[in-house]
């Protein structure tokens, strides 16, 4: 069943079409005045608009343009034989189909049924896409640092609190945002992600808040922004630290008032959207330098979540690598011990994103065979720990190395970065050796 608007200046034609479509189970509104049709399209949501092409004062082309401003609306043009070229032009502009007068009503019913099926499939596609995203919106691993993050996500997700996710590039900030959305009461509604670093200030404003027809060169029709598209759901503002100060002020107003004005418009549009923001920048430092608004920071930082670097969760490196192998459908999905040692001895400055890329490259080189160290090209810190000869003689090399690590951690009062500095090795290597010796992080 569809909501349909029929526009024709001939009352008999609108009556016939209305009767046939209502008998087919659709909800139908009709008008013989094109000007009223424009008002109806503006104020109501129609799945399908059926309009005559040639009408006095306002043409069917104008009705078409107005209808196409509404996302998802399909238009069928009705035209006389002599205007078939105009009908073709209408289809090039976005009309779904056209009918030549005189036409059989069952032909129109068939076209409507096809469009209803098309809209249904489009809706299913969006649903399945959202379900697919939900399946991958999880953190792989069991490190205490990531378990603490998951625990925070579980606590904040059922609320409507604004969340600020911080962490270096590649740590999984969008995954965290999707997890919050998927576990919230808004899970059935849209999750809309925006990369604030990818667009100029003018384009980003239009992308976020939408624009009216004629607002700027190229604005040929009204466009709803990402906030409107996320209505009832969640908007994820990634790289929020890259947003210009001027746009920060407008964003703050939208978040606080739950209303926006499209670029080039004057009407207030009410919104019901949860905001999740993310950054890899130090926003406090940016505030001190006058590059980020303090009031916006406090408005976003209602519930902060920091994602750990991959080298802060060393026990998750191999499980993540095996997850990526399974994700790609690679035949050999187990990481051999020599490869595990190699992966665990690297610092991963690019975090999880780098690990994924490294695994993908290695699978290409391995060609379906088990992975070997030769399939990787990672700079590894293999410098040995300094073990006094007396300690080696007394307890053996493994026990002596374990004691040296324990002593360094104690001297550093538990600070792993400082302990690694004392041992003159990388923090990544320290965690690796701690794991070998069964020393808890």
Domain ranges of the chain: 3-122, 137-306, 312-375, 389-436
**pLDDT tops 80 at residue 282:** yes
Sign of the dihedral through C-alpha 296, 301, 305, 311: positive
**Percent of the chain whose pLDDT exceeds 90:** 50
pLDDT of residue 124: 55
**pLDDT tops 80 at residue 143:** yes
CB-CB contact of 45 with 112 (8 Å): no
CATH 3.40.50.2300 fits 3-122, yes or no: yes
Question: What confidence tier does 222 reach under pLDDT thresholds 50, 70, 90?
Answer: confident
Question: What confidence tier does 295 reach under pLDDT thresholds 50, 70, 90?
Answer: very high
pLDDT of residue 411: 84
> 167-191 pLDDT, tens per residue?
999 999 999 999 999 999 999 899 9
**pLDDT tops 80 at residue 194:** yes
Label residue 417 exposed, middle or buried (CB < 10 Å: 0-12, 13-18, 19+).
exposed
Strands 268-270 and 48-52: unpaired
Quote the pTM value. Answer: 0.61
Query: Can you name the CATH fold of 312-375?
Result: Helicase, Ruva Protein; domain 3 (1.10.8)
Query: Can you name the CATH fold of 389-436?
Result: Arc Repressor Mutant, subunit A (1.10.10)
The answer to which of 13-22, 87-96, 380-389 has the lowest mean pLDDT is 380-389
Distance CA 221, CA 315 (A): 53
Q: Comparing 3-122 with 137-306, is the CATH topology the same?
A: yes
Where is mean pLDDT largest: 43-52, 94-103, 211-220? 43-52
Residue 281, both tokens: 């920048």
Query: Can you name the CATH fold of 137-306?
Result: Rossmann fold (3.40.50)
pLDDT of residue 126: 56
Distance CA 307, CA 341 (A): 24
pLDDT of residue 391: 43
Mean pLDDT, rounded, of the chain: 86
């Amino acid at each position: 069943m569809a909501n349909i608007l029929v526009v024709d200046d001939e009352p008999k034609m609108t009556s016939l079409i209305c009767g046939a479509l209502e008998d087919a189970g659709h909800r139908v509104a009709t008008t013989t005045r094109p000007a009223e049709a424009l008002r109806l399209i503006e104020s109501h949501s129609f799945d399908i608009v059926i309009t005559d092409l040639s009408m006095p004062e306002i043409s069917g082309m104008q009705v078409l343009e107005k209808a196409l401003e509404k996302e998802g609306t399909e238009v069928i043009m009705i035209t006389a034989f002599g205007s078939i070229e105009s009908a073709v032009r209408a289809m090039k502009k976005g009309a779904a189909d056209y009918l030549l007068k005189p036409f059989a009503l069952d032909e129109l019913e068939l076209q409507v049924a096809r469009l209803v099926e098309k809209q249904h499939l489009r809706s299913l596609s969006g649903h399945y896409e959202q379900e697919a995203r939900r399946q991958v919106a999880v953190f792989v691993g069991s490190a205490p640092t990531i378990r603490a993050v998951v625990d925070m996500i579980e606590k904040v997700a059922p609320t409507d609190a604004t969340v600020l996710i911080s962490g270096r590039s590649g740590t999984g900030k969008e995954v965290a945002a999707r997890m919050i959305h998927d576990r919230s009461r808004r899970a059935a509604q849209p999750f809309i992600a925006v990369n604030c670093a990818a667009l100029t200030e003018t384009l980003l404003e239009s992308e976020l808040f939408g624009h009216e027809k004629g607002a700027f060169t190229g604005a040929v029709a009204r466009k709803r922004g990402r906030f409107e598209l996320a209505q009832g759901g969640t908007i994820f503002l990634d790289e929020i630290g890259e947003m210009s100060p001027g746009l920060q002020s407008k964003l703050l107003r939208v978040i606080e008032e739950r209303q926006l004005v499209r670029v080039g418009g004057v009407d207030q549009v009410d919104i019901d959207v949860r905001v999740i923001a993310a950054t890899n920048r130090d926003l406090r430092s940016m505030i001190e330098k006058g590059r980020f608004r303090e009031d916006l920071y406090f408005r976003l930082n209602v519930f902060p979540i920091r994602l750990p670097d991959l080298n802060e969760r060393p026990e998750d490196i191999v499980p993540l690598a095996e997850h990526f192998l399974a994700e790609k459908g690679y035949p050999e999905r187990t990481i051999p011990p020599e490869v595990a040692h190699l992966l665990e001895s690297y610092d991963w400055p690019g975090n999880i994103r780098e690990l994924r890329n490294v695994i993908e490259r290695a699978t290409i080189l391995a060609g379906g065979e088990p992975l070997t160290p030769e399939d990787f090209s990672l700079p590894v810190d293999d410098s040995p720990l300094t073990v006094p000869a007396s300690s080696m003689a007394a307890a053996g090399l493994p026990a002596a190395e374990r004691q040296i690590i324990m002593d360094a951690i104690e001297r550093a009062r538990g600070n792993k970065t400082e302990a690694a500095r004392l041992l003159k090795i990388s923090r990544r290597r320290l965690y690796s050796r701690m794991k070998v010796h069964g020393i808890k992080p």
